[in-house]
Structure 1
Amino acid sequence: MFKSLSFWVILALVAGLVFGALAAPWARGAYSEIFASLESVGTLWLNALRMTVIPLVFSLLVTGIASVADAASTGRLAVRSLLVFSVLLISATVYAISVLPAVFSLWPVDPDAAKVFISGAGGRAVEAAEPPHLGEWIAGLAPSNPVAAAAEGAILPLVVFAIFFGFAATRLPALQRDPMVAFFRALSDTMIVIVQWVLIAAPVGVFALSLGVGLRSGLEAAGLLVQYLAIACLVTAGVAVLACVFAIVWGRISVKTFLSGAAPVLAVAFSTQSSLASLPLMVARSRDAMGLSPRVVNLTLPLAVAVFRMTSPVTNLVVVYFMAAVFGLEFTPQQVFAGSLVAVAVSVGSVGLPGQISFIASVAPISIAMGVPLELLGILLAVEVIPDIFRTVGNVTGDMAAAAIVDKRAQQSSVPPPA
């Protein structure tokens, strides 16, 4: 446990909040410059994470699209599996943008606590910018200058360009395509190494950020973090329920069969927080307990673990909506669409990344696309290990639901028409 980075990050978060609350009287006196310098360490750490976002997102999208295209080229069953993954992913995104406004309406963020939380995290209150007219927004989807879009942090036009670039690259001959994909894979791997280096200092960065929060808000910040964790876990658990509904309705499998088959797998997923570690039992239970075709199971489940994370857009949007609630921001329909598009896109590119790296690579571009400041990201990263448990359970449930649906579709397509 003591070798786990997550353990030290959570410990740093608690220590920063407590020390900040206790040291608040000294921070306003002769030692104010010392505390200000300590807080700037947190800002430096957060900026070090931010600097990797644009190149990491672009390269992950290109390589992710290439991986999906390679999988689709293996046959009809793979294409059918990818289509099912797409439907589940889009459905999960629609679920998120439908449920989250209602959740924050029923359980709003306390504005006074939010104000001191923002101040303590090194941010400042922001006002919602005047949204562009629909025509201007549509025209801005295609960047006239992709390099300028990257420099300005215009993430949505950049994502649109990356999607077109990735699909165009798949149409090239292998002699041209393979070196290009290898370049972007090397670029993403390089950015991941940088993020890993920055995350080594995560306990220091999180301590510095939470110190500022503790100095200004005392332990009130703990209440906001508990609210975030409760909402994140609850909404993410809803993805598992949604996956079950799809398996029962679309996959035509009984509730008892699906739940009894999935239960041991979900226990492994909960304890390991790894879809890959759950894969062997997933395959066995899908074949033996759920009665799915070995041909479908042997292809669909490994493919799902490789390219599909049903909870990804949901959990990432939870973070963005929570940060927006803290800043007092409300989204326009254009911002919701932009965030949904980016959430689906980065969920494909970020599959396989370690949890904390995936958190940064996925949440940051969605936040930028929806106009939400990133100052709170470091604090929320510290507690990400808890929602990650529910994320893995939801992902595994989604994988098994997808296998049940693909199996049912395969059976229907193989039945000869009546004479």
Structure 2
Amino acid sequence: MNIIEFLGLTRVESLAGVIVFFGLLFGISRLPKKKFTFAARVLIGTGIGTVYGLIVWGLSGRAGVYAADLGRWFSLVGNGYVSLFQLLIAPSIFVAGVRLVIHTPLVKTETPLIKWKKWVNTLMLAVSALIGACLGLCFKVGAAPGADTAVFSWEIGEGQKITDSIAHLIPSGIGFDFLTGNVVGIFVFAVLIGIAARRMSGKYMDTVKPFLDVTDAAFSVITSVCKAVIAYKPMGAAAVMASFTAAYGPAFLLMLVKMLAVLCAASLIMLAVQLVLCAVSGVSPTAFFRAGKAAMKKALVTRSGSACLPDAQEALTAGLGLKKEITDEVSAYAISSGMQGCGAMFPAMAAVFAAGLSGLTMTPALVFGLVMVIVLVSYGITGVPGTATMAEFGAVMGSGITGAVNGLGPMIAVDPIGDVPRTLINVTGCMTNAIIVERRVRE
């Protein structure tokens, strides 16, 4: 056995391609951070990986020898990076879930504000996720252009009933749930732990205090780990795009463009739903846009919902004359635990894309389970960095379609572009939630 075979290659020329590939990754890692923003570095990595993948695809010809040789190394790095998110999602949801509960103010009876805030937030997440999933299925995102691929079927096979989907989400052992990626079961267990700790804190604070401190410390650590993994996104994006473009060629770029176009269409539909609900609550679309113009413009530029929150809250109070105490609480809650763009619509469409890319056929029960998982995961990743990325991995793993996880790699590559419409929906969504709740509580 020679060195070429040991490296999984069939030609000496392929070794040069591997060396160039790692040289490109090293070059991307050395991009000056002061000169290029993080989003710019991710897009540069995406562009470099795409160009290199297309060159390999073009040189391979019909035999596809170079694509097969180099594809192993592209996939090793790309899928390896994707696996890091798969590794992080379960512990992140567990720690964040416990922390969410123990830091929620303890009240004996829920006020109308708390009830409406939770219900509106949950229902809006479900609507947004359903729009993302349905539009993705309608336009067959993830399916190869021109391919007559079935991405959805009304036929209900064995183990695909609604009861089966719900049963899959029920916790059956924390160790087993961690192994199988049952993020909903993990979140439910985390909530139970949090409730127990919060109850005991009333009478046995001295006993529970170390657990509360450990939870906060664990959350800080897991947050730091997430940030460290996200920091390698430019290199991961390059490897992922090189892998897929070397395998599919220019057709894969058309798939991504279609995905982003459908995401924009879904954002417009969700915005229309929000405007209708605001109109029903007494705020016309004209007044909504006039008051929220600054927040929406900032959302398109900064791509950060948290950065736009003060402007959105100012629009609700000064622009629309709503009660500050209510709108501030509801909008802050929605921008942290109820991002309708990053936490619901985008993960749903990303899951459909990954399923289509992997050749999986969605069913009604699977779509229902996907929406349910996304809603719960949105609460489970509160405060965790990289909301959209963590949410899409949680959606795929929680829905039981773990075979499609690697199909989420391209979503990492186009994340800065998809962040624009989904952040806009985050901001308009937090304003919509606040308007609805304020009207209901005032009545």
TM-score by length of 2: 0.78
Q: How many Å separate the matches in 1 of 2:277 and 2:67?
A: 58
In the TM superposition, residue 245 of structure 1 has moved relative to its aligned partner by: 1.6
1:297 matched to 2:327? The reply is: yes
Q: Summarize deviations over 1:263-289 as a string: whole Å, max 9, x none.
A: 232112222222222233223222222
Distance 2:352 2:66 in 1: 39
Equivalent position of 1:316 in the other structure: 347
Give the residue type in structure 2 aligned to 1:8.
Answer: R
Structure 1 position 242 matched with structure 2 position 273: yes
Name which of 169, 186, 190 aligns with 1:162: 190
Whole-Å separation in 2 of the counterparts to 1:256 and 1:242: 15
Structure 1 pair 341/182, CA: closer, same or farther in 2 (3 Å)?
A: farther
**Structure 1 residue 165, shift from structure 2 partner:** 3.6
Work out whether residues 142 and 355 of structure 2, in 8 Å CA contact, stay in contact via their aligned partners in 1: no
SS state of the match for residue 171, structure 1?
A: helix
| Alpha-carbon distance in 2 for matches of 1:259, 1:98 | 27
1:364 aligns with 2:397: no
Q: 1:50 to 1:90 in 2, by over 3 A?
A: closer
Residues 386-410 of structure 1 deviation map (CA, whole Å, 9 limit, x = unaligned): 2211122111112212222222223
Answer yes or no: is the 8 Å Cα contact 1:72–1:78 preserved in 2: no
Aligned-residue offset at 1:225: 0.9
- Residue from 118, 143, 148 that aligns with 1:109: 143
Is residue 266 of structure 1 aligned with residue 296 of structure 2?
A: yes
- Count of matched residue positions in the alignment of Structure 1 and Structure 2: 395
CA 1:74–1:304 in structure 2 vs 1: closer, same or farther (change >3 Å)? farther
- Closer/same/farther in 2, CA of residues 316 and 25 from structure 1, 3 Å limit: closer
In 1, are the aligned partners of 2:353 and 2:407 still within 8 Å (CA)? no
AA at the equivalent of 1:88: M
Structure 1 distance, partners of 2:104, 2:183, is 22
* 2:283 aligned counterpart, secondary structure: coil
Note the aligned Cα RMSD (angstroms).
Answer: 3.2
* Runs of at least 5 residues in structure 2 that lack an aligned partner in the other structure: 1-33, 150-155
Q: Which amino acid aligns with 1:308?
A: G
Matched AA of 1:259: F
Distance in structure 2 (CA, Å) of the matches to 1:30 and 1:261: 56
Check conservation: 2:340, 2:429, Cα contact below 8 A: yes
Matches within 5 A, 1:390-409: 390-409=421-440
- Tell whether the 8 Å contact from 2:57 to 2:67 is kept in structure 1 after alignment: no
Partner residue in 2 for 1:416 = none
Give, in angstroms, the shift of residue 131 of structure 1.
2.9
Q: Residues 18, 405 of structure 1: CA spacing in aligned structure 2 closer, same or farther, 3 A cutoff?
A: same
The change in CA–CA distance for 1:386 and 1:69 in structure 2 (over 3 A counts) is: farther
Unmatched segments (≥5 aa) in structure 1: 116-127, 413-419
Mapped to 1, the partners of 2:299 and 2:252 lie a distance apart of 30
Q: Secondary structure at the match of 2:321?
A: coil
Deviation at 1:109, TM superposition (A): 2.8
Residue 90 (1) aligns with residue 129 (2): no
Alpha-carbon distance, 1:320 to partner: 0.3
Taking the aligned partners of 1:39 and 1:95, their CA distance within structure 2 comes to 32
Which of these residues, 42, 53, 57, is aligned with residue 93 of structure 2? 57
Corresponding residue SS for 1:376:
helix
